[in-house]
Structure 1
Amino acid sequence: MDQGNTAFILIAAALVLLMTPGLAFFYGGLVKAKSVISMMMLSFGAMGLIGVLWVLYGYAIAFPSADGLGAPWSIDFSALGLESLLETPEGAAYPPLAFVAFQATFAIITVALVSGAIADRAKFGAWMIFAGLWATIVYFPVASWVFNFGLADDGSFAYGGWITYGLQEAFGVGAIDFAGGTAVHINAGAAALALALVLGKRVGFQKGIAVPHNPPFVLLGAGLLWFGWFGFNAGSELAADGTAALAFVNTIAAPAAALLAWLVVEKIKDGKPTSVGAASGAVAGLVAITPACASLQPVWAILLGIVAGAVCALAIELKFKLGFDDSLDVVGIHLVGGLIGTLYLGFFANGTGLFLGGDGTQLLVQAIAAFSVLIYSFVLAFVIGWIIQKTIGFRVKNEDEIAGIDTVVHGEEGYVLSDARD
């Protein structure tokens, strides 16, 4: 067992777990002051629920053994509860539980991302039911499609999910998704769009009505996300080597470029660059580089950041033109950014991109992977959300939404400016 790589994976897992509290700050600062606790609790609720489900059966669905593969949805019953993974096989590079822990944090952050689309108007209990069902039916299987693969001694695929192994068998190249452009960002963004449609618009929804109550929270959250993202991207190599270093550098370059591009678009469009724009631009660049971080030269990573920052800055306006209320721009940043990063590889991936030695096949398989996940996630998230809304109700009452849902749902206030005992 390589203790250095084991330590690397465990540290990366801790960094990725920190991203969910970071997301809570990012989302919490964007909502109104009387909904900040509710918004942050959607992320913390996901941490609790998905952490438990991952141990019980999530890993068994996402990472079935070679014998359990061959279908787009399968489960390794021997891995339920992780009992079969307690021992480290002889010759293994790291303990199986290190990988289990690393992938658990991916599941948690992916579910938490969806919550931004339903800010200010969702019941906590309904969200928790949705989170558990969506993780089980959508995220765990999709993670298997993308992340579950095994290698033969000669480095070729021995088995794997259909997005990696299956597409390679069919087209000669598999889809590239190093750290989760499809499984995490397109997946979450599509589900967010579905829930936004199910819950409908906030009361008085129109451009300019919702002003972020705490931009410092947003900047803090973006900083924590960027910090944790190094574990997300570089950690996906599962070894402290040159590929991890490339992913690390690109995780600096792309979001930095995206931040600048978003601010330029804001200056041209609205006359002023904003702190929320800077934070959003950085996150858009992080989303776009996620699938591509180990397959791009740093210069091409900068170009990707510029494209993602500029396009996502414009894409967040789509909700006003198309009439859906994606409260915190999960669609405009994560769905659009994930699509940009995933498809960009078809043009600029080292060795296989259309402009760097490829023949267009890489672009084809990237598109198949991206839109397959998008459609699968959207349809099932819509069905799950619709059933919850029609049965126990997903959305709070209008009067509670207007008043702010922290006290109604959680019995707490985010900001107590005076002590009632005085």
Structure 2
Amino acid sequence: MKKMKFFKALILTLLITISTSVTSVANAQNNIGQIQGIIAESAIVMDMDTGEVIASKNADKQRPVASTIKLLTSLIFAENTSKSEDISFTEDSLKTTQTALNNFKKINVGDKISSNDLMKAVMIFSANDAAYLMADSVAGNTKDFVKMMNDKAKSLGLENTHVVNPCGLEKDALNPQSTEVNLSSAYDIAIIASEAYKNEWIRDIISEKYKKTSVNLSGSPVLIETRNKILGQDGNIGGKTGNEIQAGRCFVGFFERDGRKLVTVALKSEYGADDTNVFNDTKKIADYGYDAKKQVFKKAGEKVGTVDLEYKTFGFFGPKKSIEAPIVASNDIMYYKNDINDKNAQVEYDNKDKSAWKLANKKVDLTFSLPNYKSKIPGKIDLSVFDLIKDNIGVYATTIVGTILSLGVIAYSIKFINRNKRYKRRNKNIYKRR
């Protein structure tokens, strides 16, 4: 009796263990590409060299993004300004007092700041009055600059970005009655960040070189220090912070390890007691990106799409017809599995040559595309000449039968004509003998 109870308990334990293991494996497979264990409600990690999304978490969700929008502000400023300019403070720029240069000392309309110091103020200290000054210096006013920001976002193919001010504040000093805030998504911010990082000026300012620096205000140096608490750690080579009520704590990080550059975005994290939560999130996101391995999207020989081909029934002549032909991959197609890539992955044959006879069983170049990424891959049109013949067997049979009948009629006609000629000659000869 005791032995029976022991064996029952052992079997039950084994079943529970096996069930738990299977569930764990299934959950692990389902969570591939989904960033786990972070506070941030939206996140992404992207390869800056290839543009590939490696992993994500609600990365397409539109939400407030606080001062991370200053990456777009600074990019447009850098594209329209030289480093050597002196820029005069405007009335509108000095209306903002939240995280502002004018909190350090009294600044008057017309006081000057160098464009390089202005870039430092925005990207290192995240000064909001400096962001408005960037807008005024480039476009003459904030409204026109905001239009430039939205136009730039559209030119980058970003669908979730809607800009209302150049600084990211949720209470706009120029329009205090407005309830609109800057909106974007982790994916869109990653694209903006990647574009900003390509700019040498921005890349230099956010580097460790300017971890502690100063800006000159009316002849007096004002010390500023980066708000990026992980600069120089674990491969972090720069970043941009953000913090607002609706947006929560946000951070964009740039990383380089072993020559490979990644950009991370964490949105709607928490400030926490010592303001480390968003940076801890970022480290996890970056580690996930560097550790991730590509998965098989389509196996070699697997159908990846179809193409409509055209042909003439008899090669160079005959009725024009069309046929839908399968396209198969010649090699395994690899990708980072995540929600964004799964929704958008496409394999296309975009060559203008659509001749079925010519392409039957031929190797072709295909384009594998993901958001912000394209690559050429080898493939094959899975269609044989026999398939084309089989598709038109009725036409060919009718043609052959018709040809045979026609030849028979012609042969019979020739035979009839020849026999008629012989008959006439014979009659003619009989007549002559008479």
User: For the superposition of Structure 1 and Structure 2, which TM-score range results when normalised by the shorter chain?
Assistant: under 0.3
Instruction: Give the number of the structure with larger relative contact order, counting CA–CA contacts within 8 Å between residues 6 or more apart.
Output: 1
Structure label with greater radius of gyration: 2
Higher strand share: 2
